[in-house]
Amino acid sequence: MLDVVNLAEEKEKNTLRGLMLSPTSTLEILAGKGLLTFLMTIVVIALSIYFIGYKPGKHRDYCNCYYFVILILYRAGTLLGLYSKSVMEASVLVLPVIVVFSFGTFIVAWTDQYPILKIVNYLPNIQLLEIAKKVEEKLGFADMLVHLGIIFAWVFAISVITVAIYRKRRLD
């Protein structure tokens, strides 16, 4: 999760309070807090793709989906950082989220045995894998729309929740 501990530390030291009380907008603060982390993540992914020799070619749609999944993780980290009261609490809160987002692909194997686990099919990383399968099958953009829609729903939902928590913390 991107920027969780950093944001929690700023809350703990009350430096975030100064930003919240400044005339800058919510969007400026939330975007500015993680812009460097977001850009560094993209650089690391680009370097990884380069070093393993992956040639995107017609797979650019798939590569562009990474931006949205990174945005989801960034927003989730911001949300947890805003919600927690200390660095220790942020570190503990982030663990279950990391497990769900990271190991969701392993949980998919158990969905036939435990139908309640079918909810993991809607995780962003699973959607990214489904888009990758469709790209490898050389299917068109229209075939990816459902998966992209789910990813965009995640971006929208987590952004709305993050802004709501930010505004609530601003008034506390």
22-61 tens-digit pLDDT: 777 777 777 777 777 778 888 888 888 788 887 665 566 6
Residue 74 has pLDDT above 90, yes or no: no
pLDDT at 65: 77
User: Exposed/middle/buried for 3, CB within 10 Å: 0-12, 13-18, 19+?
Assistant: buried
| 3 band by pLDDT with thresholds 50, 70 and 90 | low
Coil, strand or helix: which one is 46?
Answer: helix
Burial 128-148 (b: 16+ CB within 10 A, else e): bebbeebbeeeeeeeebeebb
pLDDT at 154: 92
Cα(162)–Cα(172) distance, integer angstroms: 15
| 172 band by pLDDT with thresholds 50, 70 and 90 | low
113 DSSP assignment: T
pTM: 0.78
Residue 141 has pLDDT above 80, yes or no: no
User: Is the separation of the CB atoms in 71 and 35 below 8 Å?
Assistant: no
